[in-house]
């Protein structure tokens, strides 16, 4: 095929005008050097695989050796190396040890066995009711809601009766704070100049206290201590209201304590 008459001239002209771009060449060379070869990356990727294969091979050989050693029956039982203290097993309170078929009621328990008294399991339920003591020695008591109480106001009457002269007395009446309960006053059949009367408002109850002054005495007889309060409209349940008293009296100065609850209507 005949050469184009102008092709050689054009090529020679272009070759003469061409100036190599040195910066571009150096950039391409540096980029190539920064890229690891495929063979290097392949080697690095295979190293963990080879290491894992080596570990697996080691484990297989080890288990094979154990299996082969375990297949042989020992000709003699292994000797014990050292002594250890016997384990102590204590039965739980609700469990009992099974009886031996050959055991009789008179046999002694085995050595090392620990016996404990049987403890019945605790039963869930409401707490036991308080144990009131309305009578103690020369002092007796009775408590009830006054018959003049109405739908929004009530009065709790505590009557203490003594058969001996009382030289010291401390009385406490507790009115539970049901809906709307608020203090409305207090009084006693004992003259006011002989008593100190206070009311303490607790979170869950009103506490009415009556304390006999030092040096004052009460002759044998019955005395009333009244706690007055307001409450929500309607009939109020006074079953949780209670009282207590400590008195000293008699020729020997005996101290007695009484307690109780207000009677339901």
Task: Name the residue among 165, 167, 208 with its Cα closest to residue 184.
Answer: 208
Whole-angstrom Cα Rg for the chain: 51
Dist. CA 50–CA 58, nearest whole Å: 12
- Burial 118-144, CB ≥16 within 10 A → b, else e: eeeeeeeeeeeeeeeeeebbbbbbebe
Alpha carbon separation from 151 to 147, 148, 177, 265 (Å, rounded) = 12, 10, 16, 14
pLDDT at 209: 98
pLDDT at 26: 60
Dist. CA 50–CA 54, nearest whole Å: 6
pLDDT truncated to tens, each residue of the chain (265 aa)? 444 555 556 556 655 665 555 566 566 555 555 554 444 444 444 444 444 444 444 444 444 444 444 444 444 444 333 334 333 333 334 333 344 444 444 455 555 554 454 554 545 565 666 689 999 999 999 999 999 999 999 999 999 999 999 999 999 999 999 999 999 999 999 999 999 999 999 999 999 999 999 999 999 999 999 999 999 999 999 999 999 999 999 999 999 999 999 976 6
Q: Which two tokens stand for residue 137?
A: 């020695």
The SS3 call for residue 262 is coil
Residue 29 dihedral angles phi and psi, to the nearest 5°: -65, -45
Q: Give strand pairing partners of 161.
A: 140, 222
């Amino acid at each position: 095929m005949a050469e184009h008459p102008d092709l050689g001239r054009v090529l020679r002209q272009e070759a003469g005008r061409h100036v190599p771009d040195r910066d571009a060449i150096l950039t391409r060379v540096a980029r190539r050097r920064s890229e690891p070869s495929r063979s290097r990356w392949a080697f690095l990727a295979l190293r963990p695989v080879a290491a894992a294969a080596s570990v697996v091979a080691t484990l297989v050989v080890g288990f094979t050796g154990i299996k082969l050693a375990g297949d042989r029956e020992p000709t003699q039982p292994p000797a014990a190396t050292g002594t250890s203290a016997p384990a102590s097993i204590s039965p739980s309170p609700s469990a009992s040890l099974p009886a031996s078929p050959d055991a009789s009621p008179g046999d002694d328990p085995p050595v090392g066995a620990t016996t404990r008294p049987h403890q019945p399991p605790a039963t869930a339920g409401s707490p036991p009711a308080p144990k009131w003591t309305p009578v103690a020695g020369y002092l007796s008591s009775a408590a009830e809601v006054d018959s003049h109480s109405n739908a929004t106001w009530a009065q709790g009457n505590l009557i203490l009766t003594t058969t001996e002269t009382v030289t010291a007395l401390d009385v406490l009446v507790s009115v539970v704070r049901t809906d709307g309960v608020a203090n409305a006053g207090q009084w006693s059949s004992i003259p006011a100049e002989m008593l100190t009367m206070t009311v303490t408002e607790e979170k869950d109850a009103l506490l009415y206290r009556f304390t006999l002054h030092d040096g004052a005495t009460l002759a044998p007889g019955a005395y009333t201590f009244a706690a007055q309060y307001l409450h929500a409209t309607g009939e109020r349940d006074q079953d949780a209201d209670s009282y207590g008293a400590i008195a000293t009296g008699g020729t020997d100065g005996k101290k007695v304590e009484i307690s109780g609850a207000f009677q339901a209507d």
